[in-house]
Amino acid sequence: MNDTIETKDQGAGMKQGHVLDLKLPIGWLLSAYGALLTVYGLVTKKEMYAISLGINLNLIWGILMLAIGGGFLLTAFLKRKGRS
Amino acid sequence: MAPVITLNAVDYLIIGGYIVVMVLVGYSLKKYMKTGEDFFLSGRSLPGWITGLAFLSANLGALEVIGMVANSAKYGIATVHFYWVGAIPAMVFLGIFMMPFYYGSRVRTVPEYLKLRYNEATRGLNAISFAVMTVLMSGISLYAMALLFKIMLGWPLTQSILFAAVVVLLYVFWGGLSSSIYNEVIQFFLIWLGLLPIVFLGLKQVGGFAGFTAKLQETLLHSIKYLGTSNNPLGVDWFGVVMGLGFVLSFGYWTTDFLVVQRALASKNLNSARMTPIIASFPKMLVPIIVVIPGLVALLVLPEFGPAALPTADYNSALILLMKHYLPNGLLGLAITALLASFMSGMAGNVTAFNTIWTYDIYGTYIRKGRPDAHYLKVGKYTTVFGIAISVGTAYIVQSFPNLMDYMQLIFSFFNAPLFATFLLGMFWKGATAWGGFWGLLVGILTAAGHYILYKAGVLTYHSDMAANFYQAIWAWLADFVVTIGVSFFTAKRDPKELVGLVFGLTPKPKAEARWYARPAVWGTLAVIVAVILNVIFW
């Protein structure tokens, strides 16, 4: 029983599988959201942020999302570079 | 009625961006869907972090999030029991003890395991009930989504239903389970990023945890301290919480529900499959941050739920009202996208689970047996269209019978609660016979239904509906457990040779090949330790 499992597992590891690297779409989506929120945070007036306790959270959250999205893209890029 | 929330162009751009990315991901997966296993099980090729996050997200639907925020406003910190008692132990148990039999036996579905371990009748009972319930539930959540977006944003019902159905249809038809799983992983990040701003702003306004302690009732602030009797906000005593929620309901759901187990079966090897629920258990422990804190904040900052609240206050609106209260346009679009994503991924998850069970366990077993793989791949793809059409139909039926939703959930619980006894005996006691399994499951389901009727008739009384639900699960489990053992003594035993790979004790232990830091047992133990520490902190 164990033997068959292992050979099959190796087979699955050898075949390419669904190699679409999910880090790319996540990275692009979060970076795009981050960029949009950052720009929007920069161009909007302070009055709009009365409800968020006076904090321009669009700007802060936009920068944070840019960083997270960028992190995903960077990891995917480094992995691809390492492979080739 | 005017919509609660007004969106602007930036918000719509964020929502639109998500839809575009999902359709593109689905389309780019199209070329990998060559065999049935590709479509139904992602070719058993995915890494543990992806299946792990999908495992968690499959359960983190929008209704779940909205409902848990509502529970937290009603019951306070005791809501954490749904996470630290009602999920972590079951997830770790699935990974360490049960996954070797699921993944190791190469079954493609949960009912297929029941067929190998017990018999065709047991599989049929499970497969048909699961398929019918899943596709109807998908329609119900489609309706819930459309209703929420109508009240919240003023979107018309029909357009919401059809639009969501078409988007889900496109990407599931193209990418099968992989599409569902990828969508769930993206949803995982969106739900955290979308809801955390509310947590930060809420904590800032009420003055952090000190603010909760100063302003809220003592009973809302402890998870365990008041469980000695059922005289607490939950109306359940410790036995009901530990046995009903922590044991029967949670193990029944996390270890036997194909919707979540299917994610682990998509893993690339046995070690990843075992790590799937264990990886999921860590973010699962943190989910109370985005549901319990907003629930408590709602009590302090929203007049609707303050001391002057009406007894009819609708706690389910707490999350939506908090979004309106705190989020400026921009972040608002992000939070709405998170809710939309979790509705759509919930629907996609239901549809792919339905697909798989229908094609393998019903169509491939009772209707057309032994056809080539390409035939079943085609059937699976077209079942997607069929499943989504039923969902849309159900969404319209629910519109005229709003109570249908409660009934469905109720009937689903009849099937789910006893199943764990059937699996526990099947996997860990080689003496359980084929007909023992069938009759145990059937009597368990009937016990749950009977308990419900007696409770509604007033013969049985509990402190709360939740207590009734927990004890119903305990009785159904016990009935299944006892009847399976009882019938097994009088019916023909299975040949132990046939049970190799299916039952503990007859199956060689998986060799610990991974290094110590990649072993399921190490991480599983750590998850349990952290969960215990969290329980002590919020005692």
Q: What are phi and psi of A30, to 5 degrees?
A: -65, -40
Residues of chain B with C-beta less than 8 angstroms from the C-beta of A16: 45
For the stretch B142-157, pLDDT in tens is 888 888 888 888 889 8
Cβ neighbours for B258, distance < 8 A, ≥ 6 positions apart? B109, B110, B111, B130, B353, B356, B357
Q: Residue B111, Cβ neighbours under 10 Å: how many? A: 26
Token readout for B78 is 């005791």
B-chain residues within 8 Å CB-CB of A68?
189, 193
pLDDT surpasses 80 at B236: no
- Tell me whether B507 touches chain A (CB under 8 Å): yes
Output A12 or B55, whichever has higher pLDDT. B55
Query: Does residue B279 contact residue B49 with C-beta atoms inside 8 Å?
Result: yes
List pLDDT tens digits, range B37-89.
Answer: 888 888 888 888 899 999 999 888 888 888 888 888 888 888 888 888 888 99
The packing angle between helices B157-206 and B373-400, to 10°, is 80
For residue B186, the chain A residue with the least C-alpha distance is: A26
**Is residue A6 predicted with pLDDT exceeding 50?**
no
Average pLDDT over residues A30-51: 90
Q: Which of A12-16, B190-194, B509-513 has the lowest mean pLDDT?
A: A12-16
B302 at interface of A, judged by CB pairs closer than 8 A: no
Say whether residue A39 is in contact with chain B using an 8 A CB cutoff: no
d(CA B444, CA B447): 5
| CA B420 centroid distance within chain | 15
- Chain B residues lying within 8 Å of A18, measured CB to CB: 29, 32, 38, 42-43, 45-46, 178
Neighbours of B496 (CB within 10 A): 12
Buried b (16+ CB within 10 A) or exposed e, B315-340: bebbbbbbbbbbbbbbbbbbbbbbbb
ipTM, two decimals, is 0.86
Query: Does A27 contact chain B (CB < 8 Å)?
Result: no
Counted residue by residue, chain B has a size of 539
Using the beta-carbon criterion (under 8 Å), do A65 and B193 form an inter-chain contact? yes
Give the closest of B21, B197, B328 to A29, CB-based.
B21
The shortest CB-CB distance from B50 to any of A2, A22, A30 is to A22
Task: Compare B354 and B406 and report the one with higher pLDDT.
Answer: B354
Q: What is the 3-state secondary structure (H, E, C) of B307-370?
A: CCCCCCCCHHHHHHHHHHHHCCCCHHHHHHHHHHHHHHHHHHHHHHHHHHHHHHHHHHHHHCCC
For residues B149 and B341, what is the distance between their CA atoms, to the nearest angstrom? 13
- Return the residue of A nearest to B178 by Cα: A18
Distance CA B39, CA B376 (A): 10
With left for phi above 0 and alpha for psi between -120 and 50, is residue B382 left, alpha or beta?
alpha
pLDDT attached to residue A18: 52
Alpha helices in B107-156 (DSSP H): 110-117, 120-153
Distance CA B177, CA B42 (A): 6
State yes or no: pLDDT of A1 exceeds 60.
no
- pLDDT of residue B306 exceeding 90, the answer is no
What is the share, in percent, of chain B residues with pLDDT greater than 70?
Answer: 96
Which residue among A5, A32, A36 sits closest to B270, beta carbon to beta carbon? A5
Say whether A40 and B10 touch across the interface (CB within 8 A). Answer: yes
In the block, tokens 């029941």 appear at B114
Candidates B353, B361, B383, B26; CA nearest to B178 is: B26
Token pair 């029991």 is at which residue? Answer: B81
Mean pLDDT over A57-65 rounds to 93
Query: What is the Cα–Cα distance from A71 to B80, expressed in whole angstroms?
Result: 31
Minimum-distance CB partner of B197 among A5, A25, A61 = A61
| Chain B residues whose beta carbon lies within 8 Å of the beta carbon of residue A28 | 21
Q: Is the pLDDT of residue A54 over 60?
A: yes
User: Is-contact B80 B292, C-beta < 8 A?
Assistant: yes
The 3-class secondary structure across B34-80, one letter per residue, is CCHHHHHHHHHCECHHHHHHHHHHCCCCHHHHHHHHHHHHHHHHHHH
Contact at CB, B185 and A5, closer than 8 angstroms: no
pLDDT at A2 over 60: no
Residue from B494, B471, B26, B460 nearest B236 by CA: B471
Binned at pLDDT 50, 70 and 90, residue A84 comes out as low
d(CA B340, CA B334): 10
Global pTM reads 0.89
- pLDDT, tens digit, for every residue of B168-203? 999 899 988 888 899 899 999 999 999 999 999 999
pLDDT for residue A10: 37
pLDDT range class, residue A3, cuts 50, 70, 90 = very low
A9 in contact with chain B, both atoms CB, cutoff 8 A: yes
Q: What is the token pair recorded at B122? A: 């047991």
Whether the CB of B43 is below 8 Å from some CB of chain A: the reply is yes
* Maximum average pLDDT range among B55-64, B398-407, B502-511: B55-64
Three-state secondary structure of B483-518: HHHHHHHHCCCCCHHHHCCCCCCCCCCCCCCCCHHH
C-alpha B373, offset from chain centre: 30
d(Cα B426, Cα B437) in Å, to the nearest integer? 8
Q: What is the dihedral of CA B234, B235, B239, B245, to 10 degrees?
A: -40
If residue B244 lies in a helix (H) or strand (E), which one and from where to where? none
Identify the three-state secondary structure at position A55: coil
Give the burial class of B428: count Cβ atoms within 10 A of its Cβ; 0-12 exposed, 13-18 middle, 19 or more buried: middle
What distance in Å separates residue B298's CA from the closest CA in chain A? 15
Largest CA distance in chain A: 68
User: Given this model, what pLDDT does residue B485 score?
Assistant: 93
